[in-house]
Copies of this chain bind each other. A is one copy, B any other.
Amino acid sequence: MNAMSTSTARRGRPPKGESRLSREAIVEATLRVIDTDGVGAVSMRAVGRVLGVDAKSLYNHVDGKDGLLDAVAEHILGTIELPERTGDLRTDLRAIAHAFRDRALTHAEAAALVLTRQLASFEALAPIEAVLTVLRAAGCPAEEAVHLLRTLVATLIGSLLREINAGPTYGTTDIEGIARRQAVLEGSGLPAIVGAAPHLARFDPGAEYDFTVEFALDALAARLGR
């Protein structure tokens, strides 16, 4: 996989031209590991192996494993393709919400990091700025805008988190899976669940996300339009 590498067992600082390691290269390699073998497979050694480099070398660019995962999350968050503003509240927020989902699903395995970790970096601020701008432009006062922003973000994160690690037990679109799940739910004996079992067993992530986004937008428009 690597032309010249570990076999030569060169030690010490590498020559200038071939300084393979950089924060960005490491993050990218980590992302490759995650996309291939899942978040659980990330280890300093594994990432080092991908780069043909000793694990400890990573510590020169990244602050331990936790710092590495933070860096990955920030990278993903920072590369969301935010849409152009149109001036319409609903159109703009919907576009942001979908851009967020697109980015999250491109690296589904890595997205759990983004959704789970608390990020304080500069890169993480761009999407926040985008949402705030739209809200303020719609005439929302600063304090309320912040509360609404947080509510909105929480909703999107909760939705995506479920979508991402929803195994087939949660609900599916394939007919056989639905039938099986529905049977389990009906066996619970809880009346409301039994009554709604056909709908509980069916789960279409995209449609569900759309429903949630539209619900939130309705609520927002009603509140701001008053």
CB-CB under 8 A from A118, the residues of chain B are 162, 165-167, 169-170
A188 within 8 Å of B by Cβ? yes
Given known contacts A116-B116, A218-B223, is B161 in contact with A208 (CB within 8 Å)?
A: no
CA distance A96 to B132 in the complex (A): 30
Given known contacts A122-B188, A151-B215, A190-B125, is B116 in contact with A196 (CB within 8 Å)?
A: no
A219 within 8 Å of B by Cβ? yes
Contact, CB under 8 Å: A192 / B151 = no
- Indicate with 1 or 0, residue by residue over A194-220, a CB within 8 angstroms of chain B CB atoms: 011011100000001001100110110
CB-CB under 8 A from A199, the residues of chain B are 142-143, 145-146
- Chain B nearest CB: distance from A140 CB in Å? 10
Contact, CB under 8 Å: A136 / B195 = yes
A129 within 8 Å of B by Cβ? yes
Q: Which single residue of chain B is at the shortest CB-CB distance from A207?
A: B147
Q: How many residues of A contact B (CB 8 A)?
A: 57
CB-CB under 8 A from A185, the residues of chain B are 125
Q: Which single residue of chain B is at the shortest CB-CB distance from A211?
A: B147
Q: Which single residue of chain B is at the shortest CB-CB distance from A203?
A: B150
Q: Which of A18-26, A86-94, A101-109, A152-160 contacts B (4 or more CB under 8 A)?
A: A152-160
CB-CB under 8 A from A193, the residues of chain B are 125, 128-129, 132
Given known contacts A129-B190, A192-B132, A193-B129, is B116 in contact with A150 (CB within 8 Å)?
A: no
CB-CB under 8 A from A128, the residues of chain B are 193, 200
* A-B complex: 9 closest residue pairs judged by Cβ atoms: A154-B158, A219-B219, A158-B158, A132-B192, A146-B199, A157-B158, A129-B190, A120-B169, A154-B159
